[in-house]
Amino acid sequence: MDRSPFMAAAGLVLFALAVYFFVPPVAPADGLPAASSDPLPAPQTRLPRSLGEMQLSFAPVVKRVAPAVVNVYSRSVVQAPVNPFFGDPFFQQFFGNPQMRQRVQQSLGSGVIVRADGVILTNDHVIRGGQDITVALADKREFKAKVLLADPHTDLAVLKIDTHGEKLPTIEFGDSDRVETGDLVLAVGDPFGVGQTVTMGIVSALARTNVTDGNYSYFIQTDAAINPGNSGGALVTSDGRLIGINTAIFSRTGDYAGIGFAIPSNLARRVVEGALGGGVKLPWIGADGQPVTQDIARSLGLPKPGGVLLKSVYPDGPAARAGLRTGDVVFSADGTEVDDIEALNYRVATHKAGDVVKLRVGQRGQARDIAVRLELPPENPPRDLTTIGGRNPLTGAQVENLSPAVASDLQMSLMAKGVVVASPGDSIAAGQGFQPGDIIMSVNGQAIRDVGQLKRALDGAGGHWDMIIDRGGQRMTLSVDG
Mention every residue, 6+ apart, whose C-beta is less than 8 A from residue 164. none
231 is catalytic: yes
Mention every residue, 6+ apart, whose C-beta is less than 8 A from residue 253. none
The kind and range of the H/E element at 468 are: strand 464-471
Backbone angles phi, psi at 344, to 5 degrees: -65, -45
Helices (H) then strands (E): counts for the chain? 12, 25
From CA 171, how far away is CA 240, in angstroms rounded? 7
* Type of residue found at 388: I
173 secondary structure, DSSP code: B
Contact 188, 262 (CB under 8 A): no
Report which of 447, 470, 264, 454 is spatially closest to residue 347, judged by C-alpha positions: 264
Cis peptide before 381 (omega within 30 of 0): yes
Dihedral sign of CA atoms 84, 90, 92, 94 in order: negative
Burial of residue 127 (CB within 10 Å: 0-12, 13-18, 19+) is: buried
Contact 385, 422 (CB under 8 A): yes
Which candidate in 231, 403, 408, 423 is catalytic? 231
From CA 111, how far away is CA 121, in angstroms rounded? 6
- How do beta strands 419-423 and 439-443 pair? antiparallel
The per-residue DSSP string of 364-378 comes to TTEEEEEEEE-BPPP
Which candidate in 124, 155, 328, 340 is catalytic? 155
406 secondary structure, DSSP code: H
Contact 125, 245 (CB under 8 A): no
- Integer CA distances (angstroms), 104 to 74, 79, 134, in order: 10, 9, 15
From CA 69, how far away is CA 72, in angstroms rounded? 10
351 is catalytic: no
Which candidate in 107, 110, 125, 438 is catalytic? 125
From CA 363, how far away is CA 361, in angstroms rounded? 7
Catalytic residues: 125, 155, 231
